[in-house]
Amino acid sequence: MPSPVSELIDLLTLERLEDNLFRGQSRDIGTKYVFGGQVLGQALSATQSTLDTPRTAHSLHAYFLRAGDTDHPIVYQVDRTRDGGSFSVRRVTAIQHGKPIFFLAASFQQVEPGGEHQLTMPEVPKPEDIEPSPAVPADVLAKLPIKVQRWLSRMGPFEFRHVYPRDELNPPKRPPFQQVWFRLAERVGDAPELHRELLAYASDFHLLGTATFPHGISYYQPNVQMASLDHALWFHRPFRADEWLLYSIDSPTAQGARGLARGLIFDRDGRLVASTAQEGLIRVVDDSGKATGTSA
């Protein structure tokens, strides 16, 4: 049986159909629809495959248009928008069942020196000093929807250590902040393109969920509907996805059934390696099916 890490790398390795046309498989990991991080990582993989000169992805901006079907592959059509003296821009459309489900614009830069500064990493316990999250008891798991059972019982490709754990099945109300250590569960090769794709995939975990904290709700609750609307990711410095990274997330606002979350990703030496932002749908539905917003 292939490991979860090798399965993820296979998922991010696309089939080239034409010079600018690629096909990626989908995987059901327990989410209702295709996991947003999968589409983001595959779209980045497609764009990186069209570069003729060695340039590094520094900025991704994406919109999720339709829910993805986990039972069918996704086709990625890349537009080579510009190749300048220092920067390249690519646009990619993800297509499924003949309709666009996702747009991405990505910018790449030739490596060059320049002034540097960054915010300081939060002071938190080291990942080895934090206990892994305990497994959900079997009797509790059996009462949950099948999709949620699959999500909570799977051994994923990434390991997470929450600095301030929260019971997602019985979520308390708390301020919209969290810090999560994460790393790929196995060592992989040195290709920086692969590590950027892996980080793009992982950046969708825990981000939007932070916006639910003040309302005492969770994605696992049957009356809560959540979906990513857009996602931005900036790469700042080299990193390895198979070494511990700290995801420091906050949510400055939620309104109109939408929540906004922002994240800073540091390596364990305190270097800021990436930043994220995401807005998503957060809708609570009562017994009649009427949306009631994000208040608990």
* 255 is known as an active-site residue: no
Distance in angstroms (rounded) separating the CA atoms of residues 246 and 163: 10
Tell me the two tokens of residue 81: 């928008």
pTM for the full predicted model: 0.92
pLDDT higher than 80, residue 136: no
* 48 is known as an active-site residue: no
Fold of 4-111+134-284: Porin (2.40.160)
What phi and psi values does residue 245 have, to the nearest 5 degrees?
-125, 145
Q: Say which residue, 220 or 93, is predicted with more confidence.
A: 93
Q: How confident is the model at residue 33 (pLDDT cuts 50, 70, 90)?
A: confident
- Please identify which of the residues 42, 228, 248, 275 carries the catalytic annotation: 228
- Please identify which of the residues 96, 204, 248, 267 carries the catalytic annotation: 204
What does the pLDDT look like over 219-243, one tens digit per residue? 888 889 999 999 999 999 999 999 9
Distance in angstroms (rounded) separating the CA atoms of residues 210 and 227: 13
- Please identify which of the residues 26, 38, 45, 278 carries the catalytic annotation: 278
Per-residue model confidence (pLDDT) at position 291:
61
Report the candidate in 19, 17, 37 with the shortest Cα–Cα distance to residue 27: 37
Report the candidate in 146, 147, 160 with the shortest Cα–Cα distance to residue 204: 160
10 Å CB burial of residue 194 (0-12, 13-18, 19+) is buried
Instruction: Quickly tell me which residue has 């939007």 as its tokens.
Output: 208
Report the candidate in 43, 161, 158 with the shortest Cα–Cα distance to residue 103: 43
Q: Where are the domains of the chain?
A: 4-111+134-284
Q: Are 276 and 207 in contact (CB under 8 A)?
A: yes
Q: Tell me the C-alpha to C-alpha distance, in Å, between residue 109 and each of 38, 55, 103, 128, 241.
A: 24, 5, 20, 35, 21
* 110 is known as an active-site residue: no
Q: Which residues contact 78 (CB under 8 A, 6 or more apart)?
A: 20, 21, 22, 46, 47, 49, 50, 90, 91, 92
Tell me the two tokens of residue 153: 């019982």
